[in-house]
Amino acid sequence: MTANDLSGPDAITSILERIAAAVERPVLKPLLVPIEELCRLLGGISESTVYKRVPLGEIPAPVSVGGRSMWRVKDIEAWAEKLRPVR
């Protein structure tokens, strides 16, 4: 999987596994993640790739918190689930 490849069953499974691992570490599940964490969860894609794909509807839109873009974990999880092929 390349850094910009968000398609295919292996890529989606990998994204879901990284999200699960990231949110299982803390005692409380985070509600929001910053762009850096989102990029890591999506396989190391760049921030510019995220921002290019948001208006295309390829990645959920962020919310602004104190002037900073943050992504709702539940939105990312729901989006990734929709991308997962039915087996």
Domains, the chain, in order of start with CATH, read 9-83 (1.10.10)
Mean pLDDT of 13-40: 81
**How large is the average pLDDT for residues 52-65?**
96
Say which residue, 50 or 17, is predicted with more confidence. 50
Please list, residue by residue across 75-85, b when 16 or more beta carbons sit within 10 angstroms of its beta carbon and e when fewer do: ebbebbeebee
DSSP, collapsed to helix, strand or coil, labels residue 17 as helix
Instruction: Give CA–CA dist 29/8, Å, rounded.
Output: 27
- Which pTM value belongs to this model? 0.66
Query: Who wins on pLDDT, 53 or 21?
Result: 53
Residue whose pair of structure tokens reads 């993640």 in the numeric block: 33
Are the CB atoms for 5 and 43 separated by under 8 Å?
yes
